Structure 1
């Protein structure tokens, strides 16, 4: 009985000691090493490359003005306008940083909800897309993509050698982190033999 109690206490201590890691990645202008060969500057996807803290860019304007052109209104209609407004409201409802707790515990680690019907129909969520686009414009990139990222690729004696770096940071202590919202990320580099210049 006593051994079982110790096991339970040890398990609780281990679980309680797990990092409650949230994460963020910063974006900036592409550096010279951020080439398509190692997965950057993907047309239509990348607005910038992952930066180390202090190297990123961001807007320094307290007010962002936006509008809807005729093509947007014709395609998405009033419902599209409402979804964009909901995304903007999420930003406007954030408290000042000085009012947030030191560990950001008031924000949940996982806020995803899966819409299986929309997924099956290949329909995307305009509010989520607006949030992602705004975050990128503000200099915040997708944390999952840049936890581990390729820095360079060189070939030595017909063997490719990759340099891998972290560009994902813990928002509380600002150290590089392998965790995104409590999930540990690792990496594996896959290179096809048919086309050795293609990475995945």
Structure 2
């Protein structure tokens, strides 16, 4: 007997971040981007870039194999990203001013075309693949794979059943509340695992996951650009019943096929992709960043005599000019051995 409970963990984009200790490979947390994160915790834990500029280039092997057409395809993917953050037509100034409805993303649930010649020849669109990779690298995960995630298990008192706790980590771009809707399509979940079919009490699984599925027939299922890389069984230890991506041979994302009424390069991104990137990179979304372990603190040298260094720190923003030291001395007429406070930014 298997019981499942849905935790109100956190409310149709998915953010990726550093995996928790309990987000292990046994629950199919194998994505090289990290693990899906909640956004209503005390501390935000998602990945995002804090530098505004990227530089990319092509090595000799890429140029030799794909030629100028391949290089152009990569440039077109980058144009989509650049046009989203800094629109060529000046529609808005930065994503903080982006209005999903006003600027053509509302209802933009599917932006794909199908080239049947490329489909029959099993050809992959480089522009769409690179675009999906960039959306991932900017911090968004595949919502069709990570909307529902296992966050804990426990056995009942008799040891005859396993209770599985599941968190919904997919967020609505307007309200930032959890939702089971992705680009206008509702999803549910089912347990998949690697236990062989057998009668009676079986063995425990080595790997289990909650697989998203939908019965929707609108044609907009699995359409997120953030899902592109998972089209060919990306980082997973299980076979999916439904591949969590619409991308495939002959499928390509194009702003000219947008459903929101505007047709700029940036509109190759779907509604949820745009909403997720807006959330991540809006200037009012403040998050604490830990420095890289290779980052070192460099301080200016101190020329104060060693006997006075304990009461004067040249790196302090207040210069030790506390009224408890300057201009008044202690009752004994001597400076205290330890100053009452130092640089407030260093504790």
Q: TM-score range by the shorter chain?
A: 0.7 to 0.9
TM-score (norm 2): 0.46
Specify the structure having the higher radius of gyration (Cα).
Answer: 2
CA contact (8 A) 1:38 1:152 kept: no
Shift of 1:154: 4.3
1:103 Cα deviation from its structure 2 partner: 4.2
Structure 1 residues 188 and 77, CA, compared in 2 at 3 Å: closer, same or farther?
A: same
The offset of 1:198, in angstroms, is 3.8
User: Which position in structure 1 is the counterpart of 2:37?
Assistant: 51
Instruction: Find out whether 1:100 has 2:98 as its counterpart.
Output: yes
Task: Confirm or deny that 1:74 pairs with 2:64.
Answer: yes
Contact 1:103–1:172, Cα closer than 8 Å, also in 2 = no
Structure 1 position 192, deviation (Å): 5.1
RMSD in angstroms over aligned alpha carbons? 2.2
What runs of 5+ residues in structure 2 fail to find an aligned partner?
A: 1-11, 88-93, 197-202, 210-347
Q: Distance in 1 between matches of 2:102 and 2:38?
A: 22
Match of 2:208 in 1: 199
Whether contact under 8 Å (2:28, 2:207) holds in the other structure is no
Structure 1 residue 170: deviation in Å? 0.9
Change (3 A) 1:82 1:169: same
Partners of 1:35 and 1:155 lie apart in 2 by 18
Which residue number corresponds to residue 40 of structure 1?
Answer: 29
Matched with 1:3 is none
Q: Sort the Cα spacing of 1:173 and 1:80 in 2 relative to 1 into closer, same or farther, 3 A.
A: same
After the TM superposition, which of the residue ranges 24-33 and 56-65 deviates more from structure 2? 24-33
Q: Distance in 1 between matches of 2:100 and 2:130?
A: 28
2:124 aligns with 124
- Distance, in Å, in 2 between the alignment partners of 1:67 and 1:111 is 27
- Return the alpha-carbon distance in structure 2 between the equivalents of residues 55 and 174 of structure 1: 15
Q: Extract structure 1 runs of 4+ deviating beyond 6 A.
A: none
Q: Structure 2 vs 1, CA of residues 84 and 31 (structure 1 numbering), >3 Å: closer, same or farther?
A: same
Q: Secondary structure at the match of 2:144?
A: helix
Specify whether residues 153 and 73 from structure 1 end up closer, same or farther in structure 2 by C-alpha distance, changes over 3 A only: farther
The 3-state SS of whatever aligns with 1:187 is strand
Match of 2:165 among 160, 163, 167: 163
Q: 1:77 Cα deviation (Å)?
A: 1.5
User: Greater share of helix residues, 1 or 2?
Assistant: 1
Q: Which moved further from structure 2: 72-81 or 98-107?
A: 98-107
Distance 1:33 1:114 in 2: 40
Structure 1 residue runs of 5 or longer lacking an equivalent are 1-22
Bigger drift between 137-146 and 89-98 goes to 89-98
C-alpha deviation, 1:64, in angstroms: 0.7
Aligned pair count reads 175
Residue 92 of structure 1 and its aligned partner are, at CA, apart by 1.2
